[in-house]
Amino acid sequence: MSRSIIPIGIALLALLGACRGGTSSDEPIVPIRNMYQQPRYTTQQASAFFSDGRVMRPPVEGTIAQEMEPDLSIQTGRIADNSEWLLEIPNAVVERGGGMPGLLARGQERFDIFCAPCHGESADGEGVVAQRAAALGAATLKPPTLHDARLRGIPDGQLYATITNGIRNMPAYGHNVPLDDRWAIVAYVRALQMSQAHRAEANQ
């Protein structure tokens, strides 16, 4: 065989090796067909299997998601019988937050991120968002100072619930701020209120 034919042969073999063939309209060969085509339900679809006719099933009574807080008082800010607010931050939250110093440090960090833009770093209601609203003539959107006597007197559970659920112009932070962080913010707000109590009393 001539040496000039060898490169041509190698190129031909490489070309044939890269050929994948044509597209087939036949179904793929699957040894276990029921694993390939499984029956399923679509969200909100009706079902003849369940007595209520719904595909989407409610959770079993009494179950909670793994990430949920099992203690309803900690979760809601209210005492066990739901008759009134918790007066103080639950001890369990303080302990798992590293004690009050750790909880305060975390609370300051979270407050500066989520609360200070409106309420101001010292909680005086003069954050950049509030200042911008006032400059645009929308002073009604300005948040109150957290050093107001009324807000200094509300229970810790009520302050926590306000952060969780929102109030008036303030949005709810229950979905984007973790539960313990909301309690940490409560602790830090209380620290701010105590540190500036003399100034707040002088202005009233």
Cα gap 108→89, rounded to integer Å? 16
Please name which of 113, 114, 95, 112 lies closest in space to residue 103, comparing C-alpha atoms.
95
Check residue 158 and give its pLDDT. Answer: 94
pLDDT the model gives residue 143: 83
**Going by CATH, does the domain composed of 72-202 fall within 1.10.760.10?**
yes
Q: pTM, whole model, 2 decimals? A: 0.67
Q: Considering the chain, what percentage of its residues have pLDDT values greater than 90?
A: 34
Q: How far is CA 70 from CA 25, 44, 80, 170, 181, in A?
A: 55, 29, 12, 27, 16
**Eight-state DSSP code of residue 113:** H
Spatial separation of the C-alpha atoms in residues 143 and 169, rounded to whole Å: 8
Residue with the two structure tokens 């229970």: 155
For residue 94, the number of C-alpha atoms closer than 13 Å in the C-beta half-sphere is 11
Token pair 């719904």: residue: 54
Q: Please state the domain extents for the chain.
A: 72-202
pLDDT of residue 23: 76
Q: Please state, in angstroms and rounded to a whole number, the distance separating the CA atoms of residues 97 and 185.
A: 12
Q: Which residues contact 148 (CB under 8 A, 6 or more apart)?
A: 200
**What is the per-residue pLDDT for 183?**
96
* Helix, strand and coil percent figures for the chain, each rounded to 5: 50, 5, 50
Q: What is the mean pLDDT of residues 50-54?
A: 88
**Average of pLDDT values for 175-186?**
94
The kind and range of the H/E element at 7 are helix 5-17
Quote the pLDDT of residue 15. Answer: 60
Q: pLDDT grade, residue 68 (50/70/90)?
A: confident
Which residues, 6+ apart, have CB-to-CB distance to 204 below 8 Å?
149
DSSP symbol at 171: P
> Each residue of 117-176: pLDDT tens digit?
989 888 888 888 888 877 877 777 788 888 888 888 899 999 999 999 988 888 898 888
